[in-house]
Amino acid sequence: MKVVIAAAGTAGHINPGIAIANKIMKEDKNSKVIFIGTERGLENDLVPRAGYELKTINAYGLSKKISIENLKKMYLTWKGFKEAKEIISKFKPDIVIGTGGYICGATITAAHKLDIPTMIHESNSFPGRAVKMLAKNTDVILVSFKDAIQRIKKAKKIVCTGTPVKIKRREYGNNEKNNILMGLKLSGDMPIVLVSGGSQGAQKINEAIIDIIKNKMNKNYQIMWATGPKQYDVIKEELEKNNININNIKDVKIVPYIYNMEEAMNVADVIVGRSGAMTVTEISNIGKPSILVPLPNVSHNHQFYNAKVLENIHAAKIIVNEDLTGERLDKNIEEIIQDKTKMYEMGKNARKVATEEAGDKIYEEIKKLLK
């Protein structure tokens, strides 16, 4: 099988593409997979690191406003379509797969013009503009959440597969869990709240946690906090101003980044974070109650709609970014941890939208399309 995968921009678009590529290679070791991206996004790091060749084209997200800058982007994107068509013509793939974002426009359109089977995977609950525009000319649209189906019109075929993620649900024995907690310098005596704003951290969430620590609000729970590498030193200095040593805070573990996130999520009792598609998928697969703070100012406010998937089934609480404070976050945490039955039910509800076999489902759809 020869496959082209279009993935660009953020890890939320690129990682599902890499997961699909890995699944294809696992099932058919004779397959050949290349990626099409841009010269600007994280694909330039993540794709080669995963062992795949990356071809780059011109592609931009377009604004509805008429401006010289937007006209320039339109011209470069049209040029990108021709570049994508040339790459695809030379490689001669059996299928072209897009994983959301503006890169899909040029690549999926080029494949359609060349009569090559096409597929798009949309991770977010609220599909992006590119997916909506390409739907009627794409052979199969795969979505992560059922909520997305009603928001895509004129599609030939839509299948809810979920998003493939690395993090899985684990059942740890007492000794195994205690060893993990010892490594984190935490205990099993009080509930653990995992706080992470993604790989880069989230400043607004970090500010709220600083407030909780300064005012010693976490009397009934422990905090396991990944600040994001770029924000760690700033937070360290801020805490030092209040005579707080970042490495020696009672019931708090602070690190720039959590490398063993699967362990951390599985031993946590409550998860606090943004609501990117990957995060929401991981939380639902593991089955944990969560407090979600959607990132504002993103296209179609899609993080809010991702969070609503869990809130609507009583698995999560949403705090709007501008309303987030340490006091409000602490109140929401306390409401969950003080009611053990509620905490259990929220985690159980999250599992209702779990899609742990997403990779298998996606591969089955690829095989069906190629028949």
3 pLDDT band (50/70/90 cuts)?
very high
The pLDDT of 307-327, averaged and rounded, is 97
Domain ranges within the chain, ordered by starting residue = 2-163+356-370, 174-353
Percent of the chain having pLDDT more than 70?
94
Q: Which tokens in the block code for residue 278?
A: 């990957």
Mean pLDDT of 75-95: 88
Residues pairing with 141 in the sheet: 120, 158
Residue 168 has which token pair?
Answer: 């899985």
Predicted confidence (pLDDT) per residue in 326-342, tens digit: 999 999 999 999 999 99
Residue 206 · residue 235 · CB < 8 Å: yes
The predicted-structure confidence for 171-224, as pLDDT tens digits, reads as follows 999 899 999 998 888 988 999 999 998 767 789 999 999 999 999 999 999 999
For residue 40, pLDDT over 90 is answered with: no
Q: Positive or negative CA dihedral for 234, 238, 241, 245?
A: negative
Predicted confidence at residue 265, as pLDDT, reads 96
3-state helix, strand, coil in the chain (%, to 5): 50, 15, 35
Q: Given pLDDT bands bounded at 50, 70 and 90, which one contains residue 74?
A: low
In sequence order, the β-bridge partners of residue 159 are 142
Render pLDDT for 230-243 as a digit per residue (tens, 0 to 9).
899 999 999 999 99
- pLDDT band at 245, cuts 50/70/90? very high
> If residue 37 lies in a helix (H) or strand (E), which one and from where to where?
strand 32-37
Domain at 174-353: CATH architecture? 3-Layer(aba) Sandwich (3.40)
CATH code: domain 2-163+356-370 is 3.40.50.2000
Q: How far apart are CA 349 and CA 201, in angstroms?
A: 27
CA distance 280 to 321: 17
Query: Do residues 225 and 255 make contact, with C-beta atoms less than 8 angstroms apart?
Result: yes
| 3 state DSSP class of 31 | coil
**Six-digit token string for 253:** 């573990």
Cα–Cα distance between 326 and 164 in angstroms, integer? 33
Query: Does the fold of domain 174-353 match that of domain 2-163+356-370?
Result: yes
Tell me: pLDDT of 253 over 60.
yes
State how beta strands 95-98 and 53-56 pair: unpaired
**Residue 317 pLDDT class (50, 70, 90 cuts):** very high
Task: Find the DSSP H helices in 92-138.
Answer: 103-113, 129-134
Q: What is the DSSP letter of 249?
A: B
- Give the integer Cα–Cα distance in Å for 248 and 365: 51
Q: Report the pLDDT value the prediction gives residue 249, as an integer from 0 to 100.
A: 93
